[in-house]
Amino acid sequence: MKLHDYFRSSAAYRVRIALNLKGVKVEQIAVHLVKDGGRQHSPEYKAKNPQGLVPALELDDGTVLIQSLAIIDYLETIAPEPRLIPADPVLAAKSRAVALAIACDIHPLNNLRVLNYLKGPLKHTQQEVDEWYRHWIRDGGLDAVERMIDGERFCFGDRPSLADICLIPQVFNARRYKIDITHLSKIAAVESHCTALAAFAAAHPARQPDAE
């Protein structure tokens, strides 16, 4: 299998963590999101993912799966252990709720194409764009997630689940943009437990073959 990937993509980072937790090996194909105006927009890549976004998982028969949560769902089906969705139905719903809050409500507002649109056609300054980014990560974003998780070691229970897989890349983005999240103590605890695990550490952007 091939993972069409970009080291800094938090959606791809989610899939890398899931692959590592499951012990599923893939070939990583870098899609540079900035060079040449963004290689995700090339006709060759859009033939694989019509949305022009990473990640995409290309199966050995050429089938291409897109959308990080759908890809993780596929991995959960083909490699059920260790499970990423808790067996307990309430914890499963809570884990999915955190994942969806991040993947559907926080991340899309700060995606590269949104930031480029604010800065380009809408002519916002870099300072305004940075403020937009900070606002949507923090207020109603990670601040709310802090109240949604149990967060003693992992978001829920004693093993990483889909919630942690989505949370850690989003925390990476917050740190990259120097957003003050020191008051989010449960998220900090989860971050320190997850990043100590080899599966999370190996998925970190700095450890990817295309890291800059």
Binding site for ligand GSH (CB under 6 A): 9-11, 33, 38, 40, 53-55, 67-69, 103, 111-113
**Shortest distance in whole angstroms from residue 122 CB to ligand GSH:** 15
DSSP string, 173-202: HHHHTT---TT-HHHHHHHHHHHTSHHHHH
State which residue, 4 or 94, has the beta carbon closest to ligand GSH.
4
Q: How far is the CB of 35 from ligand GSH (least distance, A)?
A: 12
CB of 110 to ligand GSH, least distance (A): 9
* Between 172 and 200, CB nearer to ligand GSH: 172
CB 79 within 8 A of CB 26: no
Q: In the bound complex, what is the minimum distance in angstroms from residue 54's beta carbon to ligand GSH?
A: 4
**Alpha helices, H only, 32-111:** 43-48, 68-78, 89-100
**CA–CA separation, 156 vs 124, rounded Å?**
39
- Do residues 7 and 211 touch, judged by C-beta distance below 8 A? yes
Q: In the complex with ligand GSH, which residue's Cβ is closer, 193 or 205?
A: 205
**Cβ-based nearer residue to ligand GSH, 11 or 145:** 11
C-beta of 97: minimal distance to ligand GSH in Å? 16
Structural contact between residues 74 and 14, judged by C-beta atoms closer than 8 angstroms: no
Whole-number Å distance between alpha carbons of 143 and 132: 15
Nearest-angstrom CA–CA distance, 31 and 39: 6
Q: Nearer to ligand GSH by C-beta: 9 or 161?
A: 9
